[in-house]
Amino acid sequence: MKYSILILLISLLASCGNKKSSPVAGEPHQNEIEQNLGFFDSNKKLAAAKLGSPYYSAIRNCALQKLGEGCTPEKVPLLGMKGQEINTKFVLENTIVSHDFLAKNFEEYLNHIDNKYLFALFASVSGIIISDEISASFYYTPTGMIYLNASYLWKTQEEYKKLIFKKDGRYSRDERKKVFTDWDFVKDNKTIYSSYSKKERTISDIKPVLTRLLFHELTHANDVYPINEFDTLDKSKSYYELRTSRYENKEMVSRKIVYPETKKAWEYAIFLIYGELETPESHEFSIEDFYSDFVPNIGIIFYSYITNREHLAMMMENYFMLFTEHFESCTYGKFRENNEKDSQIFWFQKNRILQTNILLEARNAIELMLPTEMAGELNSMNTVFSLETHENIAPDSERQFCKNY
């Protein structure tokens, strides 16, 4: 009963102030996308990342269509439908940018990537847009493209100053949250953000953070259009129509996998993300609830509970980062009495993706999402890393986990 009320509230919220229902109702990152819809309203400069690209005008024509009426696989095919090898040059030919240096830096990044799985995932998008007017990054169903925030791709202060960033709406955190999750990735005792916040950055500084983002956003695209299923798509239909029917017919990967399910954690997660849905019982979540509802379940962090699509993306970014890039994930259970600064870690897990029930579901998702041979190869990879869990960590613990706190 409560589920249906919450779902009704979410859909009401989505249509708030807008008589027509939102083009992204129920989509991953719906809130963030709605803050970015203004991006689609003006005719802005978006240049080809690769001069002379034969795909530029088709991608440019579709990229700013809010409802994506003209965006069909016939007019703007998914990259994997074009019969080309997906390499740096081809990805760039399918990329458009707000500033020329973003293309140059993206090219350098792609040249630094030695990861055939990441390149394979690009098959399921119809284009890549990089602009400083996008914040945060997202996959957009009506166009079939990913929209990336330019903050991932400046190297020098000179470049940074050319970008006019939009505020990222996600960080207006609700201070009433008591129990929450946090996460990070680490390799060689360095977290992915340790050199990311430098004033002058090399591609090596940027690479892990951007790679994590790409695994996440590209998973959203591969969820809708697994590479194996391109032949089954009616290419005259718009991406929006295709997505709608694939969702309703449970053809998307995220509709086939197990969703983290406990009512209490689900309601609490909804409160964390959609604070507006406050009801007295929806934001009570104790540390005991965390141990009984969250820990044994298959959600990577609370964010995984928002939708099955987000759950899939969180599992996949952890899986790809560990098995193909050897970044260990760190998941924290944190408690705060008053505000973020006072928060303390009470639970910590390294490589939560290796928890048996999560690992089995991640492997299942890989099989549903990637071509058989590639999925088999990836799922049989071994890693020297292991699952490590610490419970009931004393507030004054001297232990250092993924990074210093």
For the segment 252-281, give every residue that binds Zn ion (CB under 5 A). Answer: none
Number of residues that bind Zn ion (CB under 5 A): 2
In the complex, what is the shortest distance from the CB of residue 28 to Zn ion, in angstroms, rounded to a whole number? 4
What's the closest the beta carbon of residue 306 comes to Zn ion, in angstroms?
A: 9
Q: Which is nearer to Zn ion, 24 or 49 (CB)?
A: 24
Amino acid 34 reads E
To the nearest whole angstrom, how small is the minimum distance from the Cβ of residue 259 to Zn ion? 15
Is residue 76 classed exposed, middle or buried when 0-12, 13-18 and 19+ CB atoms within 10 A define those classes? buried
- Return the range that interacts with Zn ion (CB under 5 A); candidates 5-13, 125-133, 273-281, 312-320: 312-320
By CB under 5 A, residue 313 contacts Zn ion: yes
Site for Zn ion in 361-400 (CB under 5 A): none
Residue 31 C-beta: closest distance to Zn ion, Å = 11
Find the binder of Zn ion among 10, 14, 23, 28 (CB under 5 A): 28
Query: CB-wise, 30 or 324, nearer to Zn ion?
Result: 30
Contacts of 49 (CB under 8 A, 6+ apart): 92, 93, 95, 96, 97, 102, 103, 106, 107, 128, 130
Residue nearest to Zn ion (CB): 28
Distances in Å between the Cα of 332 and the Cα atoms of 26, 128, 317, 372, 391 are: 27, 32, 17, 34, 10
CB-nearer residue toward Zn ion: 78 or 301: 301
> Which positions from 70 through 109 interact with Zn ion, judged by CB under 5 A?
none
DSSP output for 181-234: EEEEEEETTEETTTTTT-SS--HHHHHHHHHHHHHHHHHHHHHHS-GGGGGGS-
Name the residue among 243, 258, 291, 242 with its Cα closest to residue 363.
258
State the minimum distance, in angstroms, from the CB of residue 312 to Zn ion. 9
Cα-based distances in Å from 263 to 268, 270, 293, 361: 8, 11, 9, 20
User: Would you say 28 or 73 has its CB closer to Zn ion?
Assistant: 28
Q: Closest CB to Zn ion among 159 and 310?
A: 310
Note the residues at the interface with Zn ion (CB under 5 A).
28, 313
